[in-house]
Amino acid sequence: MSAGVGRGAAGPAVAKVELRLSCRHLLDRDPLTKSDPSVALLQPSAQGRWTQVGRTEVVRSSLNPVFSKVFTIDYCFEEVQRLRFEVYDTHGPSGLACDEDDFLGGMECTLGQIVAQKKVTRPLLLKLGRKAGKSTITVIAEDISRNNGYVELSFQASNLDDKDLFSKSDPFLELFRANQDGSEQLVYRTEVVKNNLSPVWEPFKLSLSSLCSCEETRPLKEMQEAFAQGQAQWDCVNPKYQQKKRSYKNSGVVVLTDLKLHRVHSFLDYIMGGCQIHCTVAIDFTASNGDPRNSCSLHHINPYQPNEYLRALVAVGEVCQDYDSDKRFSALGFGARIPPNYEVSHDFAINFNPQDDECEGIQGVVEAYQSCLPRVQLYGPTNVAPIISKVARMAAAEELTGEASKYYILLILTDGVVTDMADTREAIVRASHLPMSIIIVGVGNADFTDMQVLDGDDGVLRSPRGEPALRDIVQFVPFRELKNASPVALAKCVLAEVPRQVVEYYSHKELPPRSLGTKVGEAGPSGAP
């Protein structure tokens, strides 16, 4: 029987997040009593207008309310999910919104910011951005997605009744789960052990979804506790014998000899456990892009129409910056002659500060890119192995911490097939052992057929020496296929594989989210919840 574990066990990219709200020091709009606050949750509609999707209950006469109603939202890493919270002194009947409600302040943020910090406290702002006194709102996130773990069980029995006339019984074991309606459902049947009254059955695995619908229910917890105390054994009782014989004790004993609970953590588990995502951007400055002063150049700066480099950069960067507490991006260039000596470089800081190549937020990267263009000479060749190796060195240092604390994403934007293909393959294979992913976006109309080999979707990537990549860490996307897509659709496509890659790395290393502190797959009593 399949336990449902393996490459796809990380679960879907979409998870369920529960948001709990509270406020402090609200403005008092009632002359005789304190305000009666409630909070409205708004999300952008398809047309971009804020639309109310939910509202808390009203907490009567309180300037420091804690709301019991929670909001459940689908979380998706690849999207910038914007949220707005508006606090009102509510005058409507039964807490319903009405035109007479007094606005006490609002706050905007993204769902990514909330889950990355688990708890966000922000000041409430009135119209035109004025602070509402000392008023604040706190949003706490909790992942309520179901656990995709599995249990490994081993059973044996002793002194079973002999039911055969000329030989011993051929026993097997059936395991049932109790459904919510009181019925029972068969979830596993062991193999038959021939001619044996004290059988030992083969160990087997059951996913939590099949065993208990992914809920670590009381029977499972009781089984874990009994196993931990060395008391996990049960009498086999035959009701007919029990009624006929007063001295009847049992028809044998079944013993649980091993129990291992394996937790398969989700991407959201790691993010909410404190894992940061650091993004490095690498931009192609080779001559094949064309002179930036020419409107046909892929690097041409048009204030009314961002070029493909900028569109891809902003779409990906706006998502990633929510998962790094300092919101700083390493921004590098390759394939250009750079000042002061105008020698070709395949690894230079586009802010021309070798000691600190980081930019403040995605807007800082955009500004550094635009300032860099007139200062460099586009040249070549298209070598990306040096930058892959540079990020890999940072990831290797992170690996030594032995914690799921930081994961690296390298976004490479290029207009053609890489020149140093052998070195690039070697660098990617080495990087596949490290906490990093590589996203390559091909801009322009070049033939990118040879780039598909770097994306392991069609087979395992191998180094020139024949060494296979440990994981598929490369996602290649030709921009022209998404040229007419929205920034949201572009980011979804480009970042689609990152959650799986993060989970695969930490699962392979048996590293749990930092907040848990025990290794993935630890078994028996110590692995119990």
Q: Parse the chain into domains and list their residue ranges.
A: 10-143, 150-262, 271-508
If DSSP codes are grouped into helix, strand and coil, which group holds residue 105? strand
Q: How confident is the model at residue 229 (pLDDT cuts 50, 70, 90)?
A: confident
Q: What is the pLDDT of residue 196?
A: 93
Note the pLDDT tens digit of each residue in 245-283: 878 889 899 999 999 888 778 899 999 999 999 999 999
Whole-angstrom CA distances from 324 to 23, 116, 308, 360 are 26, 8, 25, 11
d(CA 184, CA 198): 26
Q: In sequence order, what DSSP letters do the residues of 120-149 get, joined into one string? A: EEEEEE-GGG-EEEEEEEEEEEEE-PPP--
Average pLDDT over residues 451-468: 87
Confidence of residue 88 (pLDDT cuts 50, 70, 90): very high
Each residue's pLDDT tens digit, 98-116: 667 899 999 999 999 999 9
pLDDT the model gives residue 322 = 93
Q: Please check whether residue 146 is in contact with residue 227, taking contact to mean a CB–CB distance below 8 angstroms.
A: no
Looking at the predicted structure, is the pLDDT value of residue 7 above 70? no
CA 190 – CA 192 distance, rounded (Å): 7
**Both tokens of residue 423?**
């070195």
Report, at the CATH architecture level, how domain 150-262 is classified: Sandwich (2.60)
Q: Please give the torsion angle defined by the CA atoms of residues 87, 93, 97 and 103, in that order, rounded to the nearest 10 degrees.
A: -40
- Give CA separation, 342 vs 334, 339, 345, 369, 376, in Å: 13, 5, 9, 18, 8
Q: Does domain 271-508 have CATH number 3.40.50.2300?
A: no
CA distances in angstroms from 446 to 30, 151, 480, listed in the order given? 66, 50, 10
- Architecture in CATH of 10-143: Sandwich (2.60)
Mean pLDDT, rounded, for 52-77:
93
- Hey, what amino acid is at 146? R
Least confident range from 18-22, 49-53, 89-93: namely 89-93
The reply to whether 150-262 and 271-508 are identical in fold is no
Q: Could you write out the DSSP letters of every residue in 151-166?
A: EEEEEEEESPPP--SS
To 10 degrees, what angle do helices 361-372 and 308-320 make? Answer: 150
pLDDT band at 164 (very low <50, low <70, confident <90, very high): confident
Does this model's pTM top 0.85? My answer is no
Backbone phi and psi for residue 403, each to the nearest 5 degrees, phi listed first: -130, 160
What pLDDT does 314 receive?
A: 94
Pairing outcome for strands 276-284 and 328-334: parallel
pLDDT at 2 over 60: no
Q: Nearest-CA neighbor of 506 among 356, 415, 395, 430?
A: 395
The tens digit of pLDDT for each residue in 124-147 reads 999 888 999 999 999 999 887 755
* Dist CA 139 CA 158 (whole Å): 55
Instruction: List the strands of the sheet with 102-110, edge to edge.
Output: 50-55, 37-44, 82-89, 102-110, 119-125, 131-143, 14-24, 71-76
